[in-house]
């Protein structure tokens, strides 16, 4: 099994330390300016993708020289660079275990919201995928029973995606729930907190977005 880390070109000050996610089996994918971010941290990307319209000619030469495998796309296309990178991860690595996406929060809201919707693709494939920045981790879940361990993220929020959530139960949290119907558009489950070392959440139908957040940067 492999872990694929996708680094896009969003504001660098919101990126966590990549080395916290580095391991022998990790595959790194740089997206546009994200390739430069990796190189600045002495991580050579296994794959580089994008139209590279956000970097200058000297930076592009550096990307082409240092990257192990690079695919350049036209600026005018039907998919974002991040979607292309995610599709590459899902199509070329049938044994992928996890995908982490960095550099898609902050900056332009249209890019961020588009990246949130991209999480639906690996969800359908059964691949655990998170959007990660210095303060937040965002993940989508299909119906089932899951556990969350208490960590540096003080808050946990649960939001319906596209449709209502049926049968949401939370245990081990400051604000527990038992078999609740959560309407799409509801903010009932914003800013909950784990009170036990491990909390459990479960639901019967719908797609649930779970956001772990903290106030202070690393």
Contacts of residue 23, defined as CB under 8 A and 6 or more positions apart, other chains included, come to 3
Is the pTM higher than 0.75? The answer reads yes
Sign of CA dihedral 102, 12, 135, 182: negative
Average the pLDDT over 186-195 and give the result: 96
pLDDT value for 169:
98
**First-residue to last-residue Cα distance in the chain:** 29
Domains and CATH numbers, the chain: 2-134 (3.40.50.10240), 141-213 (2.60.120.320)
pLDDT tens profile 29-58: 999 999 999 999 999 999 999 888 888 888
């Amino acid at each position: 099994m492999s872990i694929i880390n996708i680094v896009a070109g969003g504001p660098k000050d919101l990126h966590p330390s990549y080395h916290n996610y580095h391991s022998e089996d990790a595959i790194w994918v740089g997206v546009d300016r994200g390739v430069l971010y990796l190189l600045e941290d002495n991580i050579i990307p296994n794959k580089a993708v994008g139209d590279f319209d956000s970097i200058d000619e000297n930076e592009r030469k550096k990307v082409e020289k240092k990257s192990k495998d690079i695919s350049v796309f036209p600026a005018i296309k039907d998919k974002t660079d991040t979607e292309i990178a995610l599709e590459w991860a899902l199509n070329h690595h049938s044994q992928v275990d996890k995908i982490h996406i960095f550099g898609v929060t902050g900056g332009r809201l249209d890019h961020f919201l588009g990246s949130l919707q991209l999480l639906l693709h690996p969800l359908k494939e059964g691949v655990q995928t998170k959007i990660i920045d210095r303060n937040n981790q965002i993940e989508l879940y299909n119906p089932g029973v899951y556990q969350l361990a208490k960590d540096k993220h003080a808050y946990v929020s649960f939001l319906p995606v596209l449709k209502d959530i049926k049968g949401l139960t939370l245990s081990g949290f400051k604000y527990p729930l038992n078999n609740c119907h959560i309407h799409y558009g509801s903010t009932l489950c914003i800013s909950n907190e784990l009170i036990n070392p491990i909390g459990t959440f479960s639901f019967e139908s719908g797609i649930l977005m779970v956001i772990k957040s903290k106030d202070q940067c690393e």
